[in-house]
């Protein structure tokens, strides 16, 4: 199975469709590789004021998203599709998003993403209606829409036929799990900074080794946590040692 549709439950549907219409996601939608539908909880209210939020039991600041409009929107989103589906709500309390989590989601055929606003959603919606809860990480944003868009973007890039052959090959390359090497383009000289000689030389074996050394060195310097969960081969160990020696 491969993911074919995203459904986003959101109070700001135009925000999601507008942002997704650009670039890689926009092209994938145009080419019918994936579809994106939006569902507004406000359309599932029944009162004169179309109320989607209410005051928190126990008191305190802010408002909480009511259960019923969220529930009814999710029911409609799921009914619009048949096939393996998951409902994921985006919240600061969720599991931190990783590439591994996104790769797993590609196995589904439908992903329903629920974006919250205000202080959050009634916890019974999270418990009864959602299969998972995902977070972008330990910082505060104003609502789940940008998080849903990040999930859509990151998953769409993984789907067959979305990226070109060269870009697709890179995803599973031997440099996966490392930070990228530095890149340069014209001009050759900027103030006192020249492009590294090896890149000007045209020896492709040397260039490949230099790029690997830079990727390893930068990962060691900036994200040592990434190296802990990765076993380097003998050649990579040698390149990293060289990088560290050359710092002195």
**Interface with ligand 9D3 by CB under 6 A: which residues?**
90-92, 116, 119-120, 135-137, 139-144, 147
d(CA 213, CA 199): 13
Active site residue 92: yes
Active site residue 157: yes
Considering the candidates 30, 172, 225, 246, report the single residue annotated as catalytic.
172
Considering the candidates 92, 132, 153, 218, report the single residue annotated as catalytic.
92
d(CA 8, CA 16): 8
Q: In b/e form, how buried is each residue of 67-106, taking b as 16+ CB within 10 angstroms?
A: bebbbbbbeebbeebeeebbbbbbbbebeebeeebbeebb
Q: Which C-beta is closer to ligand 9D3: that of 137 or that of 182?
A: 137
Q: Which C-beta is closer to ligand 9D3: that of 56 or that of 92?
A: 92
CB 74 within 8 A of CB 44: no
Q: Which C-beta is closer to ligand 9D3: that of 20 or that of 162?
A: 20
d(CA 191, CA 182): 18
Residue 93 phi/psi, 5-degree rounding, is -85, 0
CB of 146 to ligand 9D3, least distance (A): 8
Which burial class, exposed, middle or buried, applies to 115 when counting CB atoms under 10 A from its CB (0-12, 13-18, 19+)?
buried
CB of 99 to ligand 9D3, least distance (A): 16
CB of 55 to ligand 9D3, least distance (A): 15
CB of 10 to ligand 9D3, least distance (A): 11
Considering the candidates 14, 54, 119, 242, report the single residue annotated as catalytic.
119
Residue 95 phi/psi, 5-degree rounding, is -65, 130
Q: Which C-beta is closer to ligand 9D3: that of 77 or that of 115?
A: 115
Active site residue 30: no
d(CA 8, CA 71): 13
Q: Which C-beta is closer to ligand 9D3: that of 100 or that of 140?
A: 140
E strand or H helix at 125: helix 123-129
Token output for 138:
């330990």
CB of 62 to ligand 9D3, least distance (A): 7
Active site residue 188: no
CB of 148 to ligand 9D3, least distance (A): 8
Q: Which C-beta is closer to ligand 9D3: that of 73 or that of 162?
A: 73
DSSP β-ladder status, 193-194 and 189-190: antiparallel
Q: Is 10 helix (H, G, I), strand (E, B) or coil?
A: coil
d(CA 191, CA 30): 44
Active site residues: 92, 119, 157, 172
């Amino acid at each position: 199975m491969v993911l074919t549709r995203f459904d986003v439950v959101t109070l700001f549907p135009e925000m999601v469709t507008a942002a997704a219409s650009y670039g890689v996601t926009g092209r994938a939608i145009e080419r019918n590789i994936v579809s994106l539908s939006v569902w507004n909880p406000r359309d599932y209210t029944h009162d004169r004021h179309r109320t989607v939020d209410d005051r928190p039991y126990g008191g305190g600041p802010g408002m909480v998203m009511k259960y019923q409009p969220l529930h009814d929107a999710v029911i409609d989103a799921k009914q619009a599709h048949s096939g393996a589906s998951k409902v994921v709500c985006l919240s600061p309390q969720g599991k931190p998003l990783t590439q591994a989590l996104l790769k797993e989601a590609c196995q589904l055929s439908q992903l329903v993403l629920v974006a919250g606003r205000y202080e959050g959603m009634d916890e019974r919606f999270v418990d009864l209606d959602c299969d998972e809860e995902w977070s972008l990480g330990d910082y505060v944003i104003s609502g789940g829409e940008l998080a849903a868009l990040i999930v859509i973007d990151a998953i769409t890039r993984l789907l067959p036929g979305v990226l070109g052959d060269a870009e697709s090959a890179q995803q599973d390359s031997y440099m996966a799990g490392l930070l990228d090497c530095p890149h340069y383009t014209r001009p050759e000289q900027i103030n006192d900074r020249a492009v590294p000689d090896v890149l000007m030389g045209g020896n492709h074996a040397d260039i490949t080794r230099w790029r690997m050394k830079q990727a390893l060195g930068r990962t060691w310097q900036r994200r040592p946590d990434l190296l802990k969960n990765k076993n380097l081969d003998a050649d990579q160990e040698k390149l990293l040692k060289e990088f560290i020696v050359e710092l002195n």
